[in-house]
């Protein structure tokens, strides 16, 4: 989808937790926006946090091109500094990701590798989708997020393109999926709040 605004935020008070819903697919004609929009629909009445949709397709990150490792915090490119500033502003994340060839989309892995400290001591949840519900990408992503010192919550949403979509593109989730979505939000908010003192100590 072209012309999508890179950031969309639900209303909330400034002292609320700030959670980014990161849309991980960047390919043309992707179904990711439909899944991400469904995730965002569930955030409208959340009281503990504001949720912002961040589309990786709008971030214009090239393949990792920083000469220093991300853990150094030394950035030479404006696109890295802009990405750093955006990620720094969030307390937690919901990754909306497809499963590509049993693994993580390259654009998502690349976006994670650009930064290090900006991810630390934050919480994340995963909404995965694919022909097998995206469960294998979720397991791989948890390993990467652990190395970045992100705490992943147990509750996640697994979307089947066969059972939760019509024509493999229009969201028609099964009856229990909104409950899974709400549980995912509950847990990521609790963990993001619990980790707040660690982030404040930096």
Burial 172-187 (b: 16+ CB within 10 A, else e): ebeeebeebbebbbeb
- The reported pTM is 0.91
The yes-or-no verdict on residue 5 having pLDDT over 80 is: no
How far is the first Cα of the chain from the last one, in angstroms, to the nearest whole number?
Answer: 38
Output the pLDDT for position 7.
45
**7 or 29: whose pLDDT is higher?**
29
* 42-85 per-position pLDDT tens digit: 999 999 999 999 999 999 999 999 999 999 999 999 999 999 99
Other CB atoms within 10 Å distance of the CB of residue 165: 19
Helix/strand/coil percentages in the chain, nearest 5: 35, 25, 40
pLDDT at 200: 84
Cβ atoms of residues 46 and 170 within 8 Å: no
DSSP structure class, residue 164: S
User: By the 8 A CB rule, do 99 and 128 touch?
Assistant: yes
Going by pLDDT thresholds of 50, 70 and 90, the confidence category of residue 15 is: confident
Distance CA 76, CA 157 (A): 37
Out of 3.40.50.300, 3.40.50.360, 3.40.640.10, 3.40.50.2000, select the CATH number for domain 17-200.
3.40.50.360
Q: Please tell me the number of Cα atoms within 13 Å of 2 on its side-chain side.
A: 1
Confidence at residue 125, expressed as pLDDT on a 0 to 100 scale: 98
Q: What is the pLDDT of residue 202?
A: 62
What pLDDT shows up at residue 201? Answer: 77
Q: CA 135 to CA 103: how far, in whole Å?
A: 9
**Which helix (H) or strand (E) covers residue 97, if one does?**
strand 92-98
**What does pLDDT average to over the chain?**
93
pLDDT at 11 over 60: no
């Amino acid at each position: 989808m072209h012309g999508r605004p890179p950031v969309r935020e639900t209303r909330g008070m400034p002292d609320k937790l700030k959670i980014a819903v990161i849309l991980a697919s960047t390919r043309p004609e992707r179904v990711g926006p439909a899944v991400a929009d469904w995730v965002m629909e569930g955030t409208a009445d959340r009281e503990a946090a504001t949720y912002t949709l961040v589309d990786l397709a709008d971030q214009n990150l090239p393949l990792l091109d920083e000469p220093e490792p991300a853990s150094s915090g030394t950035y030479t490119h404006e696109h890295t500094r802009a990405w750093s500033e955006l990620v720094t502003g969030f307390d937690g994340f919901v990754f909306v990701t497809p499963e590509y060839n049993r693994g993580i989309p390259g654009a998502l892995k690349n976006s994670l590798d650009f930064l290090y400290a900006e991810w630390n001591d934050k919480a994340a949840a995963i909404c995965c989708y694919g022909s097998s519900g995206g469960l294998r990408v979720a397991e791989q992503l948890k390993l990467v997020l652990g190395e970045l010192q992100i705490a992943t919550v147990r509750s996640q949403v697994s979307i089947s393109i066969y059972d939760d979509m019509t024509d493999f593109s229009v969201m028609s989730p099964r009856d229990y999926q909104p409950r899974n979505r709400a549980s995912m939000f509950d847990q990521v908010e609790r963990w993001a709040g619990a980790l707040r003192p660690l982030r404040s100590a930096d």
